[in-house]
Amino acid sequence: MNKNFLVGIVGNPNVGKSTIFNALTGAKEKTANWSGVTVKKKIGYFQYQGCNLELTDLPGLYSLGIAGHTSNDQKITINYLKKNEFNFIINVIDISNLKKSLYLTLQLIERRIPLILVLNMKDVAKKKGVFVNINEISQLLESPTVSINANNDSDIKILKEFLMSNLLVKSTLNIFDHYPKSIRKYHGIIKSYLKENLIFTSPTEIISMMESNLTIKNKDVYNFLKKTAKILNQDLRHSLAFLLVNSRYEFIKKRTKNLFFPEKKINKSITNIIDSLVLNKFLSIPILVTSIYFMFVFSIKLGSMLEDTLSLLIEGILIDIPLCILFKLQMYQDDWIKTGIIAIGEATKTIASFVPIITIIHLFLAFLEGSGYMSRSAVISNKIMKLVGLSGRSFLPIIVGLGCNVPAITGTRILSSDNERFVTVMMIPFISCTARLGVYTLFCHIFFPYNSQNVIFFLYTTSIVLSLFTGLLVRNSVQKTEQLNVMELPDYKVPKLKTIMNYSFIKTKSFILGAGKTIFLVFLVVHLVSSIKVIVKSADETSKAESVVNYLGKSTIKLLKPMGLCEDDWPMAVSLASGILAKEVVVGSIISLYSSQDEHIAPHIYEKISDIREKYKKAFTKKYHDIKSVFTKDFFIFEGQSGFSHEKIRVNSRIKENISKSFKDKLAVLSYLIFVLTYFPCVSVFGVISNEIGKKWAIISAIWSTSLAYSVSIIFYQTASYILYFDTNYYYLGIGWIILIFTAFLLRQTSMRHHKSISL
């Protein structure tokens, strides 16, 4: 007996396919309560009772398409089924919504695909009072059927046993026997014609022909089908595809009448109560904005409490203790070892300091996604998205972009219109991801310790405004296609703590291993490159050796002068250049460059281990009181207001002091942060844009975002300087506006040409 099996998981969106996939394979793929979470196929493996199963988790879909009209993610599932390279399909069905799920099941049965029906969410069905007769369903559809709750471990064991005992499942049911006579007749006519003319086609191809889903290359077959469709239309006054849809629903209506009892209204009423608030015409937008604002307040508040503790721990383990050992071994004068220890320690400490905030932001996003609020937010934002010619559905990948732009751009595959996908992809790079949050966090702690949350909220709002502005420029304003936009609003659920923690853990892990690794590497590379010297001539014609990084930084900083940066800020220019690799690298470079400016490290503290112990004891005691005061006093009093913050900065990092000295005012800091927020999307984002909408548009996106970053930063700095100090450089302000207007005009023209070429 063959012991290797290829199995696909197919079902409607949001029925728990990924949950089952994760439970069977031990994978940790994302799950959430909205349609379109899975946009690409994922492969996992599991072994049980000596059998090896390769499972493919596929994007959810309601049907196998009509006349080729379907979104890109759904095409992945349809193509997988067409290829027929599997032993059987696990068809996941929401037991509490059986009627709707069975439509897809019938389409699979029509194609003679071997199925195992997994009726999921039996806990939800129980709460709703839905009872389904599993045996009768199994007999009716002639497919093995099992009912489970995918979140329950013992049910997963039952599922594994069930799969093992039905590995050789075959489809025997001819569902057409249960369909109306007219459908049977035409199905028979097409089948016999193909058989007589020795055209070998699979059941999938025959049904696809009937649904107009197959491109027919054979001219005779094409003419025959056209003629048959015409006769059918005259005969029954409807298309074959329409009649097929009706036949399936008639079958479901008639044959499943006695298979289940109607639902109670318990869960519905909770959903309706919440909806009456969050979908209230006047409250919906304030609730949406407030929930996003609170996400930042809580993340930054709670995150920064843990951030310092974690940084202190890392500082102790990776800097203080090794330096103390160095001191004891009388090797403290060795600059190379000392610098190496400090470099590694500072890089690790920087990465560790972002971890709590990023973890908490992802906990919030996971909660929003798991609760069912995401679809509502898409509906609420529908009108705003309409401004740029999009539907509310485009809002979903944009929200995902708050975590990382790469999955967000891939997530646009849920959009069925190419035009809508194009505009959304062009907008996403402006959505501030968590990598950029690392840069904001560092600067806010140094320059805005009293209102970090407001500054970060301002930057996020700016990112949304710039994203909408880009959408306005690239939208197709001439040809308005009336795209069918229907969004399902799932019932609210209290997300499982395990799922939320899992989601946050995966994202944080990927940050540490992905972004963290890059920060660390760039940190070391910049340190190394800094040691390379070049000979430069100064103004008085004398030659002197200068670091190559210093030289490049000082040469390019002049370009950033209009946005408020001065000559001393050259490390910022170098950091922006390295940030092209990944936005989080900006932090690595800054820390590295400013730590190399740090010449004096007091050795006295390393003389006695008891001194280090005393330092941490003092710091942790203060931290304990700080945390305690947060819960006992006003929650909205941010750290720093207790007077601890500045001391903490001194204790924790001399680098922060170096950075704080470099900017001439806070406006320049904000202007720099706006530039970081907007300029060149990182290499990964560039790659994924190229993959989704083409290389040309990836390049255009990169040029546009950088010129937008430059012009907006200049305009912001010069305008704000005028408002606050009545001091502005009109020449720079003019340059800013000219760049903005000129590049916006070019982008608009190129987009119009693009839309025109598509419509031709």
Partner 1 sequence: MKNIYIKDINDGDSFSISDFLISNIQKIKLMEIGILPKIKMKLVKKSYFGTTIIECEGNKFALDNFIAEKILIKLIES
CA distances from 651 to 441, 468, 707 (A): 18, 42, 39
Closest CB 625 distance from partner 1, rounded Å: 47
* Structure token pair of residue 418: 């190419």
Is 66 a binding residue for partner 1 by CB under 8 A? The answer is: yes
Q: Residue 93, class by beta-carbon neighbours within 10 Å (0-12 exposed, 13-18 middle, 19+ buried)?
A: buried
**Alpha helices per DSSP H over 57-202:** 72-83, 98-110, 122-128, 134-141, 153-165, 181-196
Closest CB 358 distance from partner 1, rounded Å: 31
Window 467-486: contact mask with partner 1 (x via CB under 8 A): ---------------xxxxx
DSSP 127-161: HHT--B-HHHHHHHHTS-EEE--TT-HHHHHHHHH
Query: Rounded distance, CA 96 to CA 406, Å?
Result: 34
Is 281 a binding residue for partner 1 by CB under 8 A? The answer is: yes
CB nearer to partner 1: give 271 or 502.
271
Residue 254's CB is within 10 A of a number of other CB atoms, namely 9
Closest CB 260 distance from partner 1, rounded Å: 12
Is 237 a binding residue for partner 1 by CB under 8 A? The answer is: no
Closest CB 378 distance from partner 1, rounded Å: 8
* Residues 484-503 close enough to bind partner 1 by CB under 8 A: 484-489
Query: Rounded distance, CA 527 to CA 525, Å?
Result: 5
Closest CB 379 distance from partner 1, rounded Å: 5
For partner 1, how many residues bind (rule: CB under 8 A)? 39
Q: 225, 109, 119, 224: which is closest to 162 by C-alpha?
A: 119
Q: 20, 90, 37: which is closest to 490 by C-alpha?
A: 37
CB nearer to partner 1: give 375 or 462.
375
* Residues 81-140 close enough to bind partner 1 by CB under 8 A: 97, 99-100, 103
Window 558-587: contact mask with partner 1 (x via CB under 8 A): ------------------------------
Closest CB 108 distance from partner 1, rounded Å: 14
Tell me which of 182, 239, 339, 690 binds partner 1, using CB under 8 A: 239
Is 597 a binding residue for partner 1 by CB under 8 A? The answer is: no
Is 67 a binding residue for partner 1 by CB under 8 A? The answer is: yes
- Residues 312 and 652: beta-carbon distance below 8 Å: yes
Stretch that binds partner 1, among 133-141, 194-202, 279-287, 691-699 (CB under 8 A): 279-287
Cα Dmax for the chain: 99
Closest CB 51 distance from partner 1, rounded Å: 35
Tell me the pairing of strands 543-547 and 533-537: antiparallel
Query: Rounded distance, CA 215 to CA 557, Å?
Result: 58
* Structure token pair of residue 485: 């936009």
Q: Residue 281, class by beta-carbon neighbours within 10 Å (0-12 exposed, 13-18 middle, 19+ buried)?
A: exposed
Dihedral (CA of 110, 113, 114, 115) sign: negative
Residues 6+ positions from 299 with CB-CB distance below 8 Å: 357, 360, 361, 364
Closest CB 184 distance from partner 1, rounded Å: 20
Which residue in this structure is represented by tokens 């460059």?
Answer: 593
CB nearer to partner 1: give 59 or 356.
59
The residues with which 90 forms a beta bridge, in sequence order, are: 9, 116
CB nearer to partner 1: give 52 or 280.
280
Is 234 a binding residue for partner 1 by CB under 8 A? The answer is: no
Is 273 a binding residue for partner 1 by CB under 8 A? The answer is: no
Tell me which of 21, 34, 62, 88 binds partner 1, using CB under 8 A: 62
3-state secondary structure of 638: coil
Tell me which of 69, 126, 230, 661 binds partner 1, using CB under 8 A: 69
Closest CB 427 distance from partner 1, rounded Å: 18
What phi and psi values does residue 333 have, to the nearest 5 degrees? -80, -10
* Structure token pair of residue 199: 């055209």
3-state per-residue secondary structure call for 329-348: CCCCCCHHHHHHHHHHHHHH
CB nearer to partner 1: give 229 or 512.
229
Is 254 a binding residue for partner 1 by CB under 8 A? The answer is: no
Is 511 a binding residue for partner 1 by CB under 8 A? The answer is: no
Stretch that binds partner 1, among 64-72, 398-406, 471-479, 664-672 (CB under 8 A): 64-72
Window 336-375: contact mask with partner 1 (x via CB under 8 A): ---------------------------------------x
Tell me which of 54, 136, 205, 275 binds partner 1, using CB under 8 A: 275
CB nearer to partner 1: give 204 or 375.
375
Closest CB 730 distance from partner 1, rounded Å: 42
Task: Give the full edge-to-edge strand order of the sheet including 42-48.
Answer: 42-48, 51-57, 4-11, 88-94, 115-120, 145-147
- Residues 529 and 522: beta-carbon distance below 8 Å: no
Is 63 a binding residue for partner 1 by CB under 8 A? The answer is: yes
Closest CB 285 distance from partner 1, rounded Å: 9
* Residues 372-411 close enough to bind partner 1 by CB under 8 A: 375, 379-383, 386, 391-392
Which residues contribute to the site for partner 1 (CB under 8 A)?
62-63, 66-67, 69, 97, 99-100, 103, 239, 241-242, 245-246, 249, 263, 268, 271, 275, 279, 281, 284, 375, 379-383, 386, 391-392, 482-489
